[in-house]
Amino acid sequence: MFISQAYAQAAPAAAGSDTQSTLFSLLPLVLMFVVLYFIMIRPQMKKQKEHKAMVDAIAKGDEVVIAGGVLGRVAKVGDTYLNVEVANGVELQVQRVAVVQVLPKGTFK
């Protein structure tokens, strides 16, 4: 009356189906990383490559916009620094990577 019947438990599932369920549980995580790569990482790498090519192509006389929004003409080119003339007789020494954009000739007066 007070003691209930004890029944045997069912056998555990086969190992093959357990491995398959583990792979399916990891699939959403892998898909998220693939989507993250194509939406965020790849475009950022492309943008960095384009900026590096632009900075490497800067030559004396180019008209540029510096990171602070200052417009000027490149007066002197060095390995890591540029001298940018922002007004007659006024030159700023800036890092090459501070150049945001190269403007078309004749934009800066």
Reported as a single tens digit per residue, the pLDDT across 58-103 is 999 999 999 999 999 999 999 999 999 999 999 999 999 999 999 9
Reported as a single tens digit per residue, the pLDDT across 24-59 is 888 899 999 999 999 999 999 999 999 999 999 999
Residue-range domain boundaries for the chain = 13-57, 59-103
Residue 97's alpha-carbon distances to 48, 51, 81, in angstroms, are 11, 8, 9
**pLDDT at 22 (0 to 100):** 81
Which residue would you say has higher pLDDT here, 16 or 24?
Answer: 24
The tokens describing 57, both together, are 């192509």
CATH code 1.10.357 for 59-103: no
Q: pTM score, two decimals?
A: 0.69
Annotate 10-37 with b (16+ C-beta within 10 A) or e (fewer): eeeeeeeeeeeeeeeeeeeeeeeeeeee
Contact 29, 70 (CB under 8 A): no
Give, as one character, the DSSP assignment of residue 37.
I
